[in-house]
Amino acid sequence: MTDANQQMVEQYRNNFLREVEDNVEEGEWVKMCMQCGVCSGSCPFGPHWEHPPQEIFMMIRAGKRDEVLQSDSMWMCTSCYNCIVRCPRELPITHIMHGLAHYAKRLGIAPKNQPTQKFAQLFWNNLTKTGRVNELKLGLALYFMNGIGEGIKTSLKMQKIGLGMLMTKRLTPMELIGGHKCKDAKGLQAILKKAEELEAARIPATGK
Amino acid sequence: MAKKSYSFYPGCSSQKAASASNYMVSVNSMCETLDIELNEIPDWNCCSASIGYAGGGELPRLALSARNMAISEQANPGQDIVATCAACWLATKEAQERLHDDDTLMTETNEALAQAGLKLEASQNVRHMVEVLIEDFGYDELGKHVKKPLDGIKIAGYVGCQTNRPFGIDGESYENPKYLDKLVETMGAEPVENYDQKVSCCGGALAFSEPEKSQALIKDIIESAYDGGADMIVTPCPVCQMNVEVYQDHINQKYKTNFKMPVVYYSTLMSVAYGGSGKDAGLDGQIIKAKQLEELASK
Ligand code: SF4
Ligand code: SF4
């Protein structure tokens, strides 16, 4: 268990709802859920959610901390916003899912081999480096995120798509050596660093 | 109509030789006909779409969009911000609203922006290109410029998620928005009636990390277009476009289907209907060729 996680467990004892309200993006909305179940029928990856959103909200109130934060479920969210426009209580469900995923990741207890967890981190690393996404490097990092063997298999499978994109000039090998970027990437990084510091000061779990 | 000017946020996928570069080509051609001036936000950065949350907390993610908006206020004052990518539009509009409504977040965001000498008021409207077309021009005006009606082409209007929810296009329902069908009609083509996958999800960014699960969704989107007799699919979103076009071979292998359905942008249709060449319309960017549009464009 990471230090940050241990610290949160001690600080909030058995009040997981409070912990979510204090630390998770839009977490203060969780108590408004009336358990109607509409959101749970809305997720495109529905059958693959071990705990659909309604259940997650119930589990948060029941204090099932580890079951929620270590779950693979929030990482199944495709950001389709079906739930948000349907929820009778207008909970920002999409953002709570992203918030829970981020919080679990910060505490170091998100499922390690969850593919979206890895991809979302790669995406962030990729964009914060130069200020803009480098699609080629992101793609390569993605194919190789499960190791060299898997990566070569995936790359072969994706080869035809990559070739199609190259032929239609929707991908360029130049991205490997330079590629698109923000001129003031330094300024952007300074902004992000400050934002991280401010957020860490307001939200106790820094988990670094 | 007089020239209209907007502060433009192109987004990563629209850059030269990136996955939606062909979208940008057709948008430029469409804008030329409509006398729309797009003033690119200088040195804009990625918005982190809907997938930056593993690494980025709420404030850092808001700060990304805040930087773009702050530069826009400075460089293009008094103009609405317009995005062509659904995810860019959504991320920026959400940030605009949240910062506008939350004083703590706004103060902290400005503290962060000050590191690069920037300041944000979050006063500019953030709009999708489709909103501009429909609200600032309207179907009648858009129809006036048609030189080559897309006669005899049947098109499934795939709206998808993020141009539709949570904000949507003014006056449209979430379950059955009609604007894409109306645009198709305005360009002289025939929309597929009751296309039942119109607002379904293609998996979005998770098409990368969860290919099997996403391709199951994409299969339904294409199948339903075939069922409706569609010659092609049209979309307002670069993520939808790419997901629905490029995995058709994989889907054919796995599901023993025979898909070969072109997927184009609304701006592709408009560019061709407005008399643009295949190159103007970005048709050379189609991995699955849109033959009927090519023929019409070369006439
Ligand atoms: S739709 Fe809203 S109120 Fe209903 S279960 Fe989901 S979050 Fe709760
Ligand atoms: S946005 Fe996420 S939580 Fe909401 S319906 Fe879509 S997949 Fe489910």
Domain A3-111, second-level architecture: Orthogonal Bundle (1.10)
Share of chain A above pLDDT 90, in %: 56
Alpha carbons A90 and A29: distance in angstroms, whole number: 9
Hey, what CATH class is B4-129 in?
A: mainly alpha
Establish whether residue A77 lines the binding site of ligand 1, counting it when its CB lies within 6 angstroms of any ligand atom.
Answer: no
Of the partner residues A76, A169, A199, the one whose CB lies closest to the CB of residue B58: A199
- pTM greater than 0.95 (yes/no): no
The strand pairing partners of B6, in sequence order, are: B38
- Over chain B, what is the mean pLDDT? 93
Mean pLDDT, residues B255-280: 97
Establish whether residue A39 lines the binding site of ligand 1, counting it when its CB lies within 6 angstroms of any ligand atom.
Answer: yes
Q: What is the ipTM of this complex?
A: 0.93
What local confidence, expressed as pLDDT, does residue A4 receive? 85
Indicate where chain A has its CATH 1.10.1060.10 domain(s).
3-111
Ligand 1 centroid to Cα of residue A134, in Å, is 37
Q: How far is B144 from chain A (nearest CA, A)?
A: 31
pLDDT at B17 over 90: no
pLDDT in tens, B129-172: 999 999 999 999 999 999 999 999 999 999 999 888 888 887 88
What local confidence, expressed as pLDDT, does residue B25 receive? 94
For chain A, say whether B57 makes contact (Cβ under 8 Å). Answer: yes
pLDDT in tens, A159-194: 666 666 666 666 655 554 555 788 899 999 999 999
pLDDT at A31 over 50: yes
For chain B, say whether A159 makes contact (Cβ under 8 Å). Answer: no
Of A164-173, B10-19, B253-262, which gets the smallest average pLDDT? A164-173
What local confidence, expressed as pLDDT, does residue B269 receive? 98
Alpha carbons B277 and B29: distance in angstroms, whole number: 9
Of the partner residues A142, A164, A203, the one whose CB lies closest to the CB of residue B208: A142
Cβ under 8 Å to A: B residues 97-136: 104, 108-109, 111-118
Tokens representing residue B81 in the block? 């911000």
Question: Tokens 């090519």 belong to which residue?
Answer: B294
Alpha carbons A16 and A61: distance in angstroms, whole number: 7
Helix (H, G, I), strand (E, B) or coil at B229: coil
Alpha carbons B157 and B178: distance in angstroms, whole number: 9
Query: Which atom of ligand 1 is nearest the CA belonging to A37?
Result: 5
pLDDT at B297 over 60: yes
Domain map of chain B by residue range? 4-129, 146-297
Establish whether residue A37 lines the binding site of ligand 1, counting it when its CB lies within 6 angstroms of any ligand atom.
Answer: yes
For chain A, say whether B250 makes contact (Cβ under 8 Å). Answer: yes
pLDDT at A140 over 80: no
CATH topology of domain B146-297: Rossmann fold (3.40.50)
* Helical segments of chain B, H only: 21-34, 58-75, 86-101, 103-113, 129-131, 139-144, 179-186, 206-209, 211-227, 238-246, 248-255, 266-273, 291-298
pLDDT in tens, A69-121: 999 999 999 999 999 999 999 999 999 999 999 999 999 999 998 989 988 88
Closest-CA residue of A relative to B116 is A187
